[in-house]
Chains A and B, each alone.
Chain A
Amino acid sequence: MMIERRPILDFFAHAILLAGVAVIAFPVYLAFIASTQSAEQIASSHPLSLLPGNHLLDTYRLALFGGKTYGGATIAAGWPMMWVSLVMALAITIGKIAISLLSAFAIVYFRFPFKRAVFWMIFITLMLPVEVRIGPTYEVIANLGLLNSYAGLTVPLIASATATFLFRQFFLSVPDELVEAARIDGAGPMRFFFDVLLPLSKTSIAALFVIQFIYGWNQYLWPLMVTTSEDMYPIVLGIKRAIFGEVYIEWNVVMATAILAMLPPALVVILMQKWFVKGLVDTEK
């Protein structure tokens, strides 16, 4: 490592890092604190207490299963919304990975007419995130009768050049000898794809899975537009519903819902950290 030792600088580095970790964690810590208190405790405290209260179970029960609060407000159950989020995130992730694997395989391992045109048609979609084409995409979904459906929620978000490019890069790095060997063994293209290419792509698939799961779980603007029926709301939309449209915000339940909404993707990042970092770096190349 360093050829010099400077204990003071090392101490300084640890101090900065600890301060950074604390600042980063602070908003979430406070959200957790708020979720352990009752709405009355929060309303009567200026400012919010920095120590946990004793209503943890009550608040999370309300946030998960819904019901009436002491103040008389009705809280919608959170777990069906988490289920919608999970289905949406998995559909987007698996859909993206599946169609991208196939199209990248075609683009790398076949020669066919208009290949360059196909390549560029996929490539150009890199430049059009759903946010810049929301209005017209919404109309397409409405015309197809897909409002308030999982198909409407996920399919427009499935097409992504990012995943196709990642797999293309990876396939190009696979040695040609493997194809030759497969051919000598008499294996056709699909046999080669399933028996050789897919097992080799495991790491890339895992890395992409982590990134796309987070992307899918955290979608907000698109579900806000295509869902009007409450049973199709993902959890991040549930938070908005709890804040706006209520005369009196039950901050404890809002914060419990926020914690529930961030828990699954945060666990994915922490538990699959190696793949997360790989996915982030690879998809941006």
Chain B
Amino acid sequence: MEKRVLFKSPWLPWVLVAPQLAIVLVFFFWPAGQALYQSVLQEDAFGTSREFVGWENFQRLFSDESYLASFKTTALFSALVAVSSMSLALLLAVMANRVVRLAGVYKTLLIWPYAVAPVVAGVLWLMLFASPYGVIAYALQALGLPWNHLLDANHAMALIVMAAAWKQISYNFLFFLAGLQSIPQSLIEAAALDGASPWRRFWTIVFPLLAPTTFFLLVMNVIYAFFDTFGTVDAATHGGPGKETSILVYKVYYDGFKALDMGGSAAQSVVLMLIVIALTVVQFRFVERKIEY
């Protein structure tokens, strides 16, 4: 898409794009190139010698049990975050779309967690489950369900899923609500005249029409769980117990900066970049379809 009327100048457009181009070159292309370059090098811990090792870092990565485990952890984590926060958000959005009175108030009271930093979300939920002060840990104990996320990997996973999903509900809620409000009222009225119950109307008309929103949110939630939850994990579990909640982004940081394995960390960065590119391509193909829709 282009404008019919354009300005002409041999130098002005370059001056205008220069600041952004400079930042993009120095802070995106250079580091990304470095990551690619380092991922095929082996460097000793003191940085004194480097040698070219080809695919070795990647081979080492994919034969590393802890890396494969981190992949599984991340997949499970993002699936749980996406499903739980999207289903709760959808329920709330459907209800908010139904009520006329107070709808604006509910909306305000439901969207503010978007502003909470992931690390703060992790700390808040940690306090609910920290022993012995944690209110929920205490309640579970009273019900005969002892809680210990410091020892039990499932508990630790549940903790970071709750903290991450809690924060994401607001985002999903807003998009579901917008999706619901764009469904023509006449369709629903017609179904009601035919005697379809609200339950049936939801599953046969509303839910299928929300499919584009749902799919879009699914991708966004996976991106969120993959890349924006470092702080949540760092505050709530520190990747533990052991490495049981060490998701990929946490592992890149840990291996590169705590364990000083730059080649391995760079190879992990390259793998992460490929994942983001794949997700973005999926997203854009979907966006194109949405335009026709």
Contacts and interface: CB of A to CB of B under 8 A. Distances in A.
Interface of A: 1-4, 6, 9-10, 12-14, 16-17, 20-21, 24-28, 30-31, 34, 42-43, 45-48, 50, 98-100, 102-103, 105-112, 115, 118, 121-122, 124-129, 131-137, 139-140, 155-156, 158-159, 164, 172, 176, 179-180, 183, 188-190, 192, 214, 217-218, 220-221, 225, 236, 239-240, 243-244, 251, 254-255, 258, 261-262, 265-266, 268-270, 273, 276-277, 280-281, 284-285
Nearest to B266: A135
Sorted nearest first, the 8 A-B pairs with minimum C-beta distance are A47-B138, A136-B31, A218-B117, A106-B16, A265-B115, A136-B34, A110-B13, A159-B23
Interface residues of B, number: 104
Contacts of B30: 136, 140
A46 B115 contact: no
Given A107-B17, A251-B133, A21 B118 contact: no
Contacts of A254: 123, 127
Interface of B: 1, 3-10, 12-14, 16-17, 19-21, 23-35, 38, 88, 91-92, 95-96, 98-100, 102, 106-121, 123-125, 127-128, 132-135, 137-139, 166, 169-171, 174-175, 178, 185, 189, 192-193, 198, 216, 220, 227-228, 230-231, 234-235, 238, 249, 252-253, 256-257, 262, 265-266, 269, 272-273, 276-277, 280, 287
B253 A221 contact: yes
B12 A110 contact: yes
A164 B134 CA distance: 45
Given A135-B256, A214-B114, A239 B34 contact: no
Contact of A17 (B31, B32, B99, B198): B99
A159 B24 contact: yes
29 contacts: A10-B98, A20-B95, A24-B109, A25-B109, A27-B124, A27-B127, A30-B128, A34-B133, A45-B133, A47-B134, A48-B134, A98-B19, A106-B14, A107-B17, A108-B3, A110-B9, A112-B13, A125-B28, A128-B273, A129-B276, A136-B32, A136-B269, A140-B34, A189-B9, A220-B231, A236-B117, A269-B112, A273-B108, A284-B220
